[in-house]
């Protein structure tokens, strides 16, 4: 437990994740997990700026041509209610400020990354991209 | 002979049954009822992207094919963890309805087409967006109540 806390503190301190991690312990744990995975490469911390680019796109090569960005369903304003591009179904806001339950269920988070990244990017998201994405939306 | 009380009772019952039948038909044409979704995982997972369609709207063969093809679900990757998918598959197939098992779209089933025989322009209305958006017109569709209008 101590080591996890220490790790979380180090990551948060060094990289400005502090804000993101401060909200919900479960969300902090999810971010720490991605940080640990990302560490293997040249990881120097998550970036809200990179997260914004991932969110807004536009990307090419996705499985679904009609959704070149995460914003295609989650809308360009993450504080607002999203809308599924095809079915019109409402999607609750992605910004943690507007929807504090965001990114607190690890299985749900992984399931949606697995799926949405393929549809938008044509490939799985990396651990760094997942952390960037959550960091961006935690600061919104 | 015709005044036999047994016979009179029988004709009475028959008449009552006829009445009940016609009344039932009249109600059904105003309000089609389909057993609502009662399985939490089905409600949650299907319901993230569209209304969780009631299992009775497709035959088991169609549900099986849908669950076999989640990686390419009408053009989208909609894959689920294996255990979740298995639970949903068994709920859908065990409570399925009837229809044409060669078709996986509810909106291509013959009964559906018969009931939605109107101008194609309706589907491109902003509030409707897709044929699969039952709730745009049937406000209580999610509870399995489809009013005719």
Structural domains of chain A, with CATH: 2-138 (1.10.760.10)
- pLDDT tens digits for range A20-35: 446 899 999 999 999 9
CB–CB contacts below 8 A, A to B: 38
Question: Is B9 part of any domain?
Answer: no
Question: Is B132 part of any domain?
Answer: yes
Contact across the interface for A86 and B129, Cβ inside 8 Å? yes
Is the separation of the CB atoms in B135 and B141 below 8 Å? yes
Contact across the interface for A119 and B49, Cβ inside 8 Å? no
Q: For residues B50 and B142, give the distance between their C-alpha atoms in angstroms, rounded to a whole number.
A: 10
Compare CB distances from A115 to B50, B78, B132 and report the shortest one's residue: B78
Question: By C-alpha distance, which of B26, B72, B95, B141 is closest to A64?
Answer: B72
pTM: 0.82
Question: Is B5 part of any domain?
Answer: no
Question: Is B20 part of any domain?
Answer: no
Is the separation of the CB atoms in B55 and B75 below 8 Å? no
Judging contacts by C-beta atoms under 8 Å, the chain A residues touching residue B81 are 107, 111
Whole domain around residue B75: which residue ranges?
40-143
Q: How far is A119 from chain B (nearest CA, A)?
A: 6
Q: Is the pLDDT of residue A106 over 90?
A: yes
| Full DSSP string of A78-97 | TTS-EE-TTT--EE---STT
Question: Is B89 part of any domain?
Answer: yes
B76 three-state secondary structure: strand
Contact across the interface for A88 and B76, Cβ inside 8 Å? no
Q: Report the number of distinct structural domains present in chain B.
A: 1
ipTM of the complex: 0.78
Compare CB distances from A115 to B75, B77, B127 and report the shortest one's residue: B77
pLDDT for position B36: 96
């Amino acid at each position: 437990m101590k080591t996890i806390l220490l790790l979380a503190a180090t990551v948060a301190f060094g990289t400005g994740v502090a804000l993101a991690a401060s909200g919900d312990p479960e969300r902090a744990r999810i971010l720490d997990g991605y940080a640990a995975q990302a560490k293997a490469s040249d990881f120097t911390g998550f970036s809200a700026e990179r997260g914004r680019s991932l969110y807004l796109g536009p990307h090419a090569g996705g499985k679904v041509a009609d959704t070149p960005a995460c914003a295609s369903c989650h809308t360009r304003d993450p504080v607002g209610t999203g809308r599924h591009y095809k079915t019109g179904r409402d999607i609750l806001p992605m910004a943690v400020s507007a929807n504090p339950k965001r990114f607190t269920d690890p299985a749900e988070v992984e399931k949606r990354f697995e799926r949405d990244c393929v549809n938008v990017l044509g490939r799985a998201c990396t651990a760094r991209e997942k952390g960037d994405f959550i960091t961006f939306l935690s600061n919104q | 002979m015709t005044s036999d009380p047994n016979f009179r009772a029988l004709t009475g019952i028959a008449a009552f049954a006829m009445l009940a039948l016609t009344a039932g038909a009249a109600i059904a044409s105003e309000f089609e009822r389909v057993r609502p979704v009662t399985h939490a995982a089905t409600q949650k997972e299907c319901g993230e992207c569209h209304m969780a369609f009631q299992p009775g709207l497709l035959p088991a063969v169609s549900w099986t094919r849908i669950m076999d093809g989640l990686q390419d679900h009408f053009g989208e990757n909609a894959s689920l963890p294996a255990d979740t998918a298995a639970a949903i598959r068994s709920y859908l197939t065990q409570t399925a309805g009837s229809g044409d098992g060669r078709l996986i779209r509810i909106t291509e089933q013959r009964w559906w087409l018969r009931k939605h025989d109107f101008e194609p322009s309706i589907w491109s209305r902003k509030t409707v967006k897709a044929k699969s958006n039952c709730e745009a017109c049937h406000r209580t569709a999610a509870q399995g109540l489809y009013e005719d209008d």
